[in-house]
Amino acid sequence: MLNGEKIVVVMPAYNAARTLRQTYQEVMAHGIVDLVIVVDDASHDDTVAIARTLDRVQVEVHPVNLGYGANQKTCYRLALAAGAGIIIMIHPDYQYTPQLIPAMAALVASGLYPCVLASRILGGGALRGGMPWWKYVANRFLTFVENLLLGAKLSEYHTGYRAFTRKLLERLPLDTNSDDFVFDNQVLAQVIALGCAIGEVTCPARYLPEASSINFRRSVRYGLGCLFTALHFRFARWGLARPIA
């Protein structure tokens, strides 16, 4: 709990057996997290078996692989059903440090921001942490274009480490979003469309061999999806497309 708000951490998991326990231990080390929800998207390893050995962890298993976006939809639905006041998503692949959870939760609980992102770009640590140069260039290009079209000034739209208030998540039309990776981008466009402020904190990046990643082909498809989302937002603002949120 923080300021009377129940804190639930959600982890969309896929083949995360090698890093799940370490991520979980650091998440719980702060003493403010009430519940962890692990949603497994039909992993082929021991992710589910390990998750079920952990305390204060609710495990949900998709019988077939539904996609990263569909995994998050389940995560947020379960977190809201569990009575969460603050919901924090972190990947269980240990790419993002759980040490930022208290800071992100505090920014949300204080009422300053209904949405907080952990940015790998702020502080310049992405490349030092091992982000491939082509992903860094793509990240910076997409972020520039998205800021231009969305009218925002974020340092990064592509982080998988986010905190939300319950009230904000309940306002977002999550079920209308993609079941694939572009879900992340669509959520931020919807938050901006609702006129909600987004805070950012600096997050060191760790690109480990066991960390999850998408291949070049899927990265290209994701990038095109991000551009389409931003264009849809701009056309909606001009009254030329349906509202995005």
| Each residue's pLDDT tens digit, 75-96 | 999 999 999 999 999 999 999 9
Nearest-angstrom CA–CA distance, 119 and 79: 23
Token representation of residue 206: 């760790």
List per-residue pLDDT tens for the chain, 245 residues long: 788 999 999 999 999 999 999 999 999 999 999 999 999 999 999 999 999 999 999 999 999 999 999 999 999 999 999 999 999 999 999 999 999 999 999 999 999 999 999 999 998 778 888 888 888 999 999 999 999 999 999 999 999 999 999 999 999 999 999 999 999 999 999 999 999 999 999 998 887 665 556 677 888 899 999 999 999 999 999 999 999 98
Give the burial string for 145-166 (b: 16+ CB within 10 Å, else e): bbeebbebebbbbbbbbbbbbb
Nearest-angstrom CA–CA distance, 2 and 110: 9
Task: Provide the residue type at 184 as one letter.
Answer: D
Domains of the chain, residue spans = 7-237
- Residues, the chain, total? 245
Question: Residue 86's closest CA among 94, 76, 96?
Answer: 76
- For residue 86, count other CB atoms closer than 10 A to its CB: 30
Nearest-angstrom CA–CA distance, 223 and 123: 23
Question: Residue 177's closest CA among 86, 42, 89, 66?
Answer: 66
Architecture of domain 7-237: Alpha-Beta Complex (3.90)
Token representation of residue 177: 């979003």
Nearest-angstrom CA–CA distance, 29 and 223: 35
60, 73 contact by CB (below 8 A): no
Looking only at the bridges linking them, the beta strands covering 86-89 and 162-165 are antiparallel
DSSP string, the chain: -BTTB-EEEEEEESS-TTTHHHHHHHHHTTS---EEEEEE-S-SSSHHHHHTTSTTEEEEE-SS---HHHHHHHHHHHHHHTT-SEEEE--TTSSB-GGGHHHHHHHHHTTS-SEEEEESSGGG-TTTTT--HHHHHHHHHHHHHHHHHHT---S-S--S-EEEEHHHHHHS-GGGS-SSTTHHHHHHHHHHHTT--EEEEE--B---TTS----HHHHHHHHHHHHHHHHHHHHHHTTSS----
